[in-house]
Structure 1
């Protein structure tokens, strides 16, 4: 990797996404396309597309899907040296069910098969691995999300281990990514956990809906009042985004593009904003870059930019 480019390390779950080639009920879907998925993996791919050196810390199974995911990272220029292979647990997958909408777009319904997966067994030992340690030590930024601590008790402990690492000048980025299905029957615990991470991060992303569900506030300025600790806070909605850098505040509208399907656009948006701040862009410039990269995910049924 070139020495002149900052390194961003994304820590979290990778999945294989199976997407029907034709929209409709799953029982009528005969053929599927596979692609890389997982919030942090999507972000890593988008960061690499924006010219930022990116690496992933995760675990996959010793199976064809795991080998496919690692090969996809390399194809997109993402370092996979810290993706560990589990000899016993499988690689997680999810299936998209595409429901046609009247305007020509589709609504995606997700069906996850990740219980007992290799990624759900990520643990503090994963973070303590020598290869992982070298990458994080060299990183200008580490990116995580609220999905990881919801996967298992060991994954929660791994996230804690990431947040406990000496930070120095390195930025720690956190995307709230509230997934109520993963916190079912422990929603209050999940809210407390994600709030704690958000307060300790340097960069925080959340949607208006997630802010309402997790923090109990939905106005962006109220979210900022609730989370004064992070230097950067970005609150997004379908209409656009409002970003804060310390006391500074700016907002921007989403770009007007044909929307095919929205899954993964938030990960691409986060990558664009992070690429902006790592490249020394202003708050306004970072937001503009975020919107441009997000549009590349909105116009496809894949979760990541290509």
Structure 2
């Protein structure tokens, strides 16, 4: 099996989960929902990819927004979506889910003739199934004649090509037509026809996973051991019984008289928020160990840990842990009763799973040329100086965006990335236009020039940024010095702390811009001491934006970030309306500093053209042309920084 390019193909449900945000409310009283990737097979494909396996999804989605969302979310996690087929006749399935209490999780499936239930033998061939070490199918796709035929064909191809067959029983009575359509939370209804159907599948399997209730439906009674014995008569598969807080038990041969006599690994007790999706997380963890052939006990530990982490969080697929999270949790699980509240675990989840990716996920955000025009007060001042109405600010920013587009097009293939810094006050149309394109986008929250720091969006900044697109980076400028008067320093730090916590909640990346106050003494350790102070407070921004440091200061900053925040995205350089020769010197000082990812400069590039435009000395086209030219010249200096340093070394 070593020559197979995929670890697992997951065949089954692909849906969108809409999780209620009001914990404790019945579904009829819920007022808002969070949208996540859903469907058992989709969740497992997503989870196994986070576990480092090469996973693929075999399903159908609708030719609409939710279908595109499913495909994009899978691809973003690294899942092969080459066989996620677009069905032009059907819609993607939806599920509404609630969290009433620790035992009550109402859900409604909207899956009437949905896309994934139209999967067909024509959607795949034998070579595709043969390319994987394992084929996973969830129980719903044995529930209708069409899906059952497609699933059995995939199994036939798997058996002929040494591809292991894995079945997650995943019994949902409502999806077998055994309950009313609104009874999605009902997890068990006995039915002889379903039992016989599932028993006919068991001989084809290498691994079968289910809860005790799911083995009850497969075995045809409500005694778990008796059910396992009945299934063992027709199947040599490995059985894994999920036992919730008690962990799991594995049976590879003859069935003993008690569950504990199997290979049993007990889980760690955690406070439960949401059990929905815990089984998919369990399966993802188990496959991490089972497919590569690790010890069964190890696979059980992975599975139990994944389940424990996910039951403590909101949602399923987004709650799935990364390898880094899982390894940390396994090493510290006895000390983490609330995984959702553990700061290290949450930090690892944030930096390893929630960050925005490029259109090409193999490309990182580095070597970036960013056009910054998030200024507000400065544009107001320019309008007043020129006698122009403030309504011209929005128009000016739209023209600067066109310059950014033209510059980006000219720089394609020459730099690692391009982007903008723009505000929601005067540039909301700009943000709306650029969102969804492959640009780095950040926007400010600070009240311009405020010291102590104040938020332009008001004190409830978290509620405000929750309305922003997920790929908008939250940028906060703070005029800060580590030797500030204590009360001022504490007040500003608390504001940044509040913002960081808000970003952790909403999932947005945070960029903190530090500018030492005018007149303060700036030494080679000033910026690094400022950064260290925030780290000591538990504030770990994804990005830093800094004035150009000296070579010695760069070394201090680089050493600190690598030691304290190795997942930090990096530093971008600001401009402060400095002359070009000063900025060039700053670029050269940054040469060779891997932590420096680019520049975010504005006024040096746009101030004079915008002033001339406001005075009506130049037209729209000339403004765009001049800003574009300035942007490209600055980008050329950035690209030349390493060459300049090499020449200086040779001359020395």
**Higher mean C-alpha deviation, range 55-64 or range 108-117:** 108-117
Cα deviation, residue 279, structure 1: 2.1
- 2:285 — aligned with what? 272
Unaligned runs of 5+ in 2: 179-189, 256-261, 322-652
- 2:116 — aligned with what? 119
- 1:35 — aligned with what? 36
| 1:210 is aligned to 2:214 | yes
- Matches of 2:4 and 2:154, distance apart in 1: 25
SS in 2 for 1:147: helix
Cα deviation, residue 247, structure 1: 5.3
Contact 2:46 2:77 in 1 (8 A): yes
- Matches of 1:4 and 1:211, distance apart in 2: 31
Q: Residue by residue, what CA displacement relative to the aligned partner does 1:104-131 show, whole Å, maximum 9, x if unpaired?
A: x463111111111111111222234xxx
Unaligned runs of 5+ in 1: none
| Correspondence 1:190-205 to 2 at 5 A | 190-205=194-209
TM-score (norm 2): 0.43
Q: Residue by residue, what CA displacement relative to the aligned partner does 1:266-302 show, whole Å, maximum 9, x if unpaired?
A: 1111121121011221111111111111122211221
Contact 2:95 2:108 in 1 (8 A): yes
Q: Which has the higher strand share?
A: 1
Cα deviation, residue 162, structure 1: 1.6
Shift in CA distance, 221/8, structure 1 to aligned 2, threshold 3 Å? same
How many residues end up aligned between the 2 structures? 296
TM-score (norm 1): 0.89
- Matches of 1:300 and 1:258, distance apart in 2: 10
- Matches of 1:242 and 1:213, distance apart in 2: 18
- Matches of 2:277 and 2:158, distance apart in 1: 30
The CA RMSD over aligned residues, in Å, is 2.2
Contact 2:195 2:220 in 1 (8 A): no
Q: Which has the higher helix share?
A: 2
- 1:236 — aligned with what? 242
**Higher mean C-alpha deviation, range 273-282 or range 245-254:** 245-254
What is the aligned counterpart of 1:141 among 128, 134, 138?
134
- 2:273 — aligned with what? 260
SS in 2 for 1:148: helix
- Matches of 2:264 and 2:220, distance apart in 1: 22
| 1:171 is aligned to 2:164 | yes
- 2:17 — aligned with what? 17
Cα deviation, residue 178, structure 1: 1.5
Shift in CA distance, 287/166, structure 1 to aligned 2, threshold 3 Å? closer
Contact 2:129 2:135 in 1 (8 A): yes
Which is higher, the Rg of structure 1 or of structure 2? 2
Contact 2:44 2:283 in 1 (8 A): yes
Shift in CA distance, 56/6, structure 1 to aligned 2, threshold 3 Å? closer
- 2:54 — aligned with what? 53
SS in 1 for 2:270: coil
Runs of 4+, deviation exceeding 6 Å: 2-5
- 1:88 — aligned with what? 89
SS in 1 for 2:173: coil
- Matches of 1:6 and 1:282, distance apart in 2: 21
Shift in CA distance, 89/197, structure 1 to aligned 2, threshold 3 Å? same
- Matches of 1:7 and 1:256, distance apart in 2: 31
Cα deviation, residue 66, structure 1: 0.3
Q: Residue by residue, what CA displacement relative to the aligned partner does 1:236-292 show, whole Å, maximum 9, x if unpaired?
A: 222221102345941011222221111111111112112101122111111111111
More RCO (CA 8 Å, sep 6+): 1
Q: Residue by residue, what CA displacement relative to the aligned partner does 1:163-191 show, whole Å, maximum 9, x if unpaired?
A: 22252321100011122122235933222
Contact 2:134 2:166 in 1 (8 A): yes
- Matches of 1:69 and 1:11, distance apart in 2: 14
| 1:302 is aligned to 2:308 | no
